Every structure is written in structure tokens, then in C-alpha cells.
Amino acid sequence: MGGKHGASLARDNAHVVRQLRRTRRELDHVIRALSHDMSANFMLLEDSFSRLRRSLDVAPAHKLVEMADHVDACLRESRRFLDDLVRLGKTGSVEMEPEQVELGGVVDEVLFELHEPLDRRGIIVRVEQPLPRVWCNRHRVKQLISNLIRNATKHGCDAREPRITIRARPDALARTNPDAHPTVLLRVHDNGRGIPPEKDEEVFLPGRRLSTASDDGSGMGLAIVRKIAEHYGGEAWVDRESRGGTTIVVALPGMPLPAQDTDRHGPSLDHDGPHEAGGPPPYGPHGLPRPRRDRHRSWPVDDPSDDDFCPTA
């Protein structure tokens, strides 16, 4: 009996140790992600304030108002990240509660805040309207889109005629499958030199950068994009069907269907339990397994599927 009891205690102890290690890796990634995005935002804030100060005596009033608005937008974003850090310190997680998010409004905010680096590089951004709504946390969607556009600005785009195109449409496969959840495919395309096919997965690993990438970067941007998408049961990948440049595709949950349509169109998205009547299916919008996590609460959440995510553990 003693031997069996000892073996059981050893298994329980090993399980607890694995859980603690996974939680540590999750916390490590969240801290790195917040540090990455806070640093980028502070650089925008510093640059914006410097331009405003230099322009006080020479710029017309309407330009000064625009510059002040930009400083204010960057300050608000900084406050959101500070709130994330405070919450992380108190609870070990950041807010991930899903809500109705208008992609068009988020894209407008990001382009306004990134106006200076885009303008400095002469990048023309085309947004294919209209953009649909998604069912995610608004601040996380903004993090995701900011990293996609910053990544294209820093590491993509043709040097002579740099262009970025942003579009989002409901997934046609999800629309034709009565058992699939509504899914939105967000695409951000740049007309740069592109990503070699053998690097399609490597670019999503934390701290990894291509040899051709700009030195101005930490290699965290696309890792953050994928991590946020996966948290909501989505995916992120390099689109090989796109010609010229690089297209990053992100699958995000669309708006939940009304409860009365559940039987006809599949289960509701606001269920936290395992796959059953009313619960999310165990696969993503393109047939890949869904991450096993509570997608509707806080991040990080201990997830056995994430053992190898953070290389710093």
C-alpha cells in the first residue's frame, strides 16, 4: 500500500510542477507582450509630444489640435497598458472578456496612432470597407491589429512604392457549413519581398526574426498576434495563395448567432464548457484543433497545449 501511495503522491507532485511551469511560461509571455507593446506606444508618444512642442510657434491652430489629439490618444493607450500591468500584478491575468468589436473603428484608431511612422516611410494604406464586427476583447483586437501593421511597416513593403492593404470578410467556409461558428478572416498585406515558405511558422515564434528583417524590432509582434487569435479559438498564418509580398491572415470569431438560431447554425459562442449541446466545437475555423482554454475570461489561463510556447522557461 505504501508503495502505491508513494507513487500516487509522486504523480500528483509531478502534475503540480508541470502546472506551475506552464503558468510561469504563460505569465512570462504576457509580460513580454505587454512590455513589447508598451515600449512601441511610448515611442509613439515621445515622438508625438516632440513634434507638438517643435510646432507650437509655427504650425496653424488646426494642426496643433490634431497633434494634441494624437498625444492624447497615445496617453490613453499607455493608460490601458498600465491598467493591464496593475491587473496582472493583482490577479495574475489581464482582461480578455469578449464583446462586440467594430473592426473599422479599431483600424481607424490604429492608423491614426501610427500615422507618423507610416507617413515617414511614405506608406499608402488602403482599407477595403466595410469591415465586419468580431466577438473578442476590444483592447486585445487593437493589440493584434497594431502589431500586424507595425510588422508590415517595419519589415515589409516595397522601398519605392510601399503599400499596405487591410481587408476583413466572413469566412466563406464557415458560412456554408451549418455546424461552423461565424468566423471573420482579417488580412493584412504588404508589398515587400515576402516571407520564404520554409519560414512560415518560424515568424510566429517569440523572439524570432528573419535575417532580412529590420533591426528595429524584437521578434514578438507576430507571436502576440497568434497568441491572441488562439485565445479566442482562432488562428494566424501566412497566406500562400496571395501573390507578391506578404499576407498575414487572422481568423477571429464573428458575432454570436441569436439563441433561436442555435439548432440550425450550430452552438453559441458564449459557452465556457466542453463541446456539448451549446458548447464550441473542438476544432478551429479551418479544421485545426481549438486551443484548450477558457476563451472568455482572463489571460493567462493554464493550458496543457502550451507546453512549448515560451522558449524562456
Residues 173 and 51 in one domain: no
Number of domains in the chain: 2
CA dihedral sign of residues 30, 36, 41, 42? positive
pTM of the model: 0.72
In which band, very low, low, confident or very high, does the pLDDT at 207 lie, cut at 50, 70 and 90?
Answer: confident
Q: Is residue 311 part of a domain?
A: no
134, pLDDT greater than 70 = yes
Domain containing 146 equals 98-304
295, pLDDT greater than 60 = no
Q: What is the pLDDT of residue 174?
A: 64
Q: Which of 47, 68, 311 is nearest to 205 (CA)?
A: 311
306, pLDDT greater than 70 = no
The per-residue pLDDT for range 208-254, each reduced to its tens digit, is 766 555 555 567 899 999 999 999 999 999 998 888 899 999 999 99
Domain boundary among 39, 61, 91: 91
Q: Which residue has the higher pLDDT, 264 or 215?
A: 215
Q: Cβ distance 103 to 141 under 8 Å?
A: yes
Domain boundary among 65, 91, 117: 91
Instruction: Tell me the pLDDT of the chain averaged across its residues.
Output: 77
Q: What is the pLDDT of residue 144?
A: 97
User: Nine-digit cell at 147?
Assistant: 502589431
Q: What is the pLDDT of residue 68?
A: 92
Q: What is the pLDDT of residue 93?
A: 80
Residues 26 and 160 in one domain: no
Residues 126 and 271 in one domain: yes
The per-residue pLDDT for range 148-183, each reduced to its tens digit, is 999 999 988 998 999 999 999 998 776 667 667 889
Q: Is residue 295 part of a domain?
A: yes
Residues 155 and 74 in one domain: no
Q: What is the pLDDT of residue 241?
A: 86
Q: Is residue 279 part of a domain?
A: yes
Q: What is the pLDDT of residue 37?
A: 86
Q: Which residue has the higher pLDDT, 72 or 292?
A: 72
Q: Is residue 255 part of a domain?
A: yes
Q: Which residue has the higher pLDDT, 298 or 87?
A: 87
Average pLDDT over residues 79-104: 88
CATH of the domain at 30: 1.10.287
Of 16-20, 59-63, 187-191, the range with the highest mean pLDDT is 187-191
